[in-house]
Structure 1
Amino acid sequence: MLIRLSRVSSRVPKSPSRLYSLKAMQGMTDEERNAAARAKWSANTVEVEDRFANRFQSTKPPAAPPAAPPPAAPTAPPTALPADPLTKQNPDAHNKNAASKTSTTKIAVAQLCSTASKASNLVTIFKLAASASSNNCSMLFLPEVATLLPPKGTTIDNAEPIPPPPSSPPFESTTLQTLSEIAKRNSLHISVGSMHESGAVDADTDEPRVWNTSLVIDDKGDLIGKYRKVHLFSIDTEMTKLSEASTTVGGTSLSPSIPTPLGPLGLAICYDLRFPYLSTSLRHSKNSSCLIYPSAFTVETGLRDWEVLLRSRAIENQCWVVAAAQVGRHDNGRKSYGHSLVVNPLGQVLLDMGGYTSMEEEDVDDSFKNIVKYVDVDLDLVRRVREEVLQVERHQVDLEVNLTK
């Protein structure tokens, strides 16, 4: 027995307790040491066999569990783990194909300095759309007159025909056809802030005019929405003199809300922003959850009115507001304010893309021009805000608006 213990002990590091026992056995008679060894063996058998087995990776299980667990933390039981770790944080939360599951979608807002060249503007839009698609955006928003800001005296000649929606390609308008191909190629819905539509005439003179028309194209390239700007802009100050009515005829009706990844979309353009009854009708009669105001605001009016009006439209209608804008000095010498904004239904500005900060600036930095930025949109926020403040129940007037003369 002593020989067996000696062999095992020689292969196992001696613990402090074992060293103490060996020293205590010195000076004993052979008979006393044998008795002590037999008693000690019984107590240490489990420890020795366990260490021996671990050292040589024996498959033999220990005779009994250790008296105390090792100091290392034990593995957590399965019930301590999340039932489904993937649903705790979805890495694909902003993918446009996962929007319905996460109640979130990512949109892209383009801020342009459009030129007098349709080809150049469409190349810019193509690049920005590709960037939006590669960033998993579901929709791209363009500003007013995104495809062409024509030189003075050429507006009517550059206008193109636009069919009523829903319409599918091919389109007679080369510009619309190109935009359709861009949308389809990048699997994007595109809000074409506006382009000039041919076929209008002046009611008094029968001279040719244009409509300033906003379009929505879906991710298959089909035209699904169209709105002709109702309120035509004019300004006559020492700094700025403009009259949109010299080339353009106003529309006479609102568009129905357009189904988009962002929800039902209410269409308006630039100067329409100043007329609250229009946005009220879009919100209540047309059931819009997002209002758009693609614009080419002048610097003078932008500095004074732009942000406060957009935030007001968002708060009073409990809607998302997306306002893609022109920025910088254009080929015809006109300057646009910039500051494309995205505002949530609480009136909070989630995106401001920069632009002019004073009337004295001759131009703005190129970093503000022909760029695209992204915003994650909480699709459920409109419902939550409207449930908190029940504005619908407080309205005491007929919301239908007669826009005809």
Structure 2
Amino acid sequence: MAASNSVRVAAAQMTSVNDITANFSTCSRLVKEAVSAGAKMLCLPENFSYVGVKTGDSLLIAEPLDGPIMQKYCSLARESGIWLSLGGFQEKGHDDAHLRNTHVVIDDAGNIRSTFNKIHLFDVDVPGGAVYKESSFTEPGKDIAVVDSPIGRLGLTVCYDLRFPELYQKLRFHHDAQVILVPAAFTTVTGQAHWEILLRARAIETQCYVIASAQAGKHNEKRESYGETLIIDPWGTVVGRLPDRVSTGITVVDIDFSLIDSVRAKMPIAKHRKPFDFWRPATL
């Protein structure tokens, strides 16, 4: 049983395809599992509702937040009585050639509580892998997002944001985040090399829980995601992990608020931090 100073969260792993109805069915099943496990919130990965076969397919299905796709997920949250973190929704952009990669947090009454547009876009020639240019069809976000929830004060990020620690520093030290969410669809090459170590580093340096829900396995002939959904505590320990890196399912953890307080009290880095203008160029 969860202690009185803790609350249960679930993180999902799945393999989205180019079928919105099939993905919603998978997400609905994962929601049922999370509710049965006593979780107050379920975190789903980036591109939970759709993964296209070709670059640009996502533009064809992109919708506003009040469109039918997101409204189905709002209804799912309300009917199930659970908060949802929906990472990487294809939100319609300012024109037909662009979308926003939007992290949406919905409460247990089905209301959208917060949104975050992915700031850092994945324009990368992956060594030994494919070439990606997310900016060709995606508008970058500019604003940090935090929101209070039953599992603590959440800092919102998406996938490639993980490689930019200053965002995570701001979420913790400027916006008082306790839990940072990283829904993702990491490539297999970069995931194998960097996924877990980056997530653990972000948890250690912010003294936050980090919840990283991942796309996993082969979506189609051209696209594969690394998987490995993880929940990491503020000391950097992996406390939640599915037994199989590419299976569909959930991992469940109790967020322990006293552990957050304890880690921060014993190693008070918030007090020890120096402002960026503290440093001066070296003089010869």
Quick one: distance in 1 between partners of 2:261 and 2:237? Answer: 16
- TM-score, normalised with respect to structure 2: 0.93
* 2:39 corresponds to: 137
How much does 1:274 deviate? 0.4
The correspondence of residues 23-172 of structure 1 with structure 2, limited to 5 A, is 93-94=1-2, 102-152=4-54, 153-162=56-65, 172=66
The correspondence of residues 206-221 of structure 1 with structure 2, limited to 5 A, is 208-221=97-110
* 1:175 corresponds to: 69
How much does 1:355 deviate? 5.4
Q: 1 or 2, which has the higher strand percentage?
A: 2
Quick one: distance in 1 between partners of 2:238 and 2:94? Answer: 37
Asked if the contact 1:289–1:382 (Cα under 8 Å) also holds between the matched residues in 2, the reply is: yes
Secondary structure in structure 2 of the residue aligned to 1:146: coil
Quick one: distance in 1 between partners of 2:197 and 2:34? Answer: 28
* 1:26 corresponds to: none
* 1:301 corresponds to: 190
Structure ranking higher on relative contact order (CA contacts 8 Å, 6+ apart): 2
Asked if the contact 1:338–1:353 (Cα under 8 Å) also holds between the matched residues in 2, the reply is: no
How much does 1:183 deviate? 0.6
Quick one: distance in 2 between partners of 1:392 and 1:270? Answer: 25
The residue type paired with residue 320 of structure 1 is: Y
Match of 1:290 among 159, 166, 179: 179
Asked if the contact 1:339–1:354 (Cα under 8 Å) also holds between the matched residues in 2, the reply is: no
How much does 1:398 deviate? 5.2
Task: Confirm or deny that 1:253 pairs with 2:156.
Answer: no
Quick one: distance in 1 between partners of 2:168 and 2:192? Answer: 22
Secondary structure in structure 2 of the residue aligned to 1:326: strand
Asked if the contact 2:77–2:107 (Cα under 8 Å) also holds between the matched residues in 1, the reply is: yes
The correspondence of residues 272-287 of structure 1 with structure 2, limited to 5 A, is 272-287=161-176
Asked if the contact 1:264–1:289 (Cα under 8 Å) also holds between the matched residues in 2, the reply is: yes
* 1:184 corresponds to: 78
How much does 1:250 deviate? 0.7
Secondary structure in structure 1 of the residue aligned to 2:98: strand
Structure 1 residues 332 and 379 mapped into 2: Cα distance closer, same or farther (>3 Å)?
A: farther
Secondary structure in structure 1 of the residue aligned to 2:199: helix
Match of 2:156 among 244, 249, 267: 267
Sequence identity percentage: 34
How much does 1:331 deviate? 2.4
Secondary structure in structure 1 of the residue aligned to 2:93: strand
Task: Confirm or deny that 1:371 pairs with 2:253.
Answer: no
Please list every run of 5 or more consecutive structure 1 residues that lacks an aligned counterpart in the other structure: 1-92, 163-171, 202-206, 357-367, 400-405
Quick one: distance in 2 between partners of 1:260 and 1:182? Answer: 18
Asked if the contact 2:8–2:252 (Cα under 8 Å) also holds between the matched residues in 1, the reply is: yes
- Specify the structure having the higher radius of gyration (Cα): 1
The residue type paired with residue 159 of structure 1 is: A
Task: Confirm or deny that 1:350 pairs with 2:239.
Answer: yes
Quick one: distance in 2 between partners of 1:271 and 1:238? Answer: 18
Secondary structure in structure 2 of the residue aligned to 1:176: helix
When structure 1 is superposed on structure 2, of 373-382 and 264-273 the one drifting more is 373-382
* 2:133 corresponds to: 243
- TM-score, normalised with respect to structure 1: 0.66
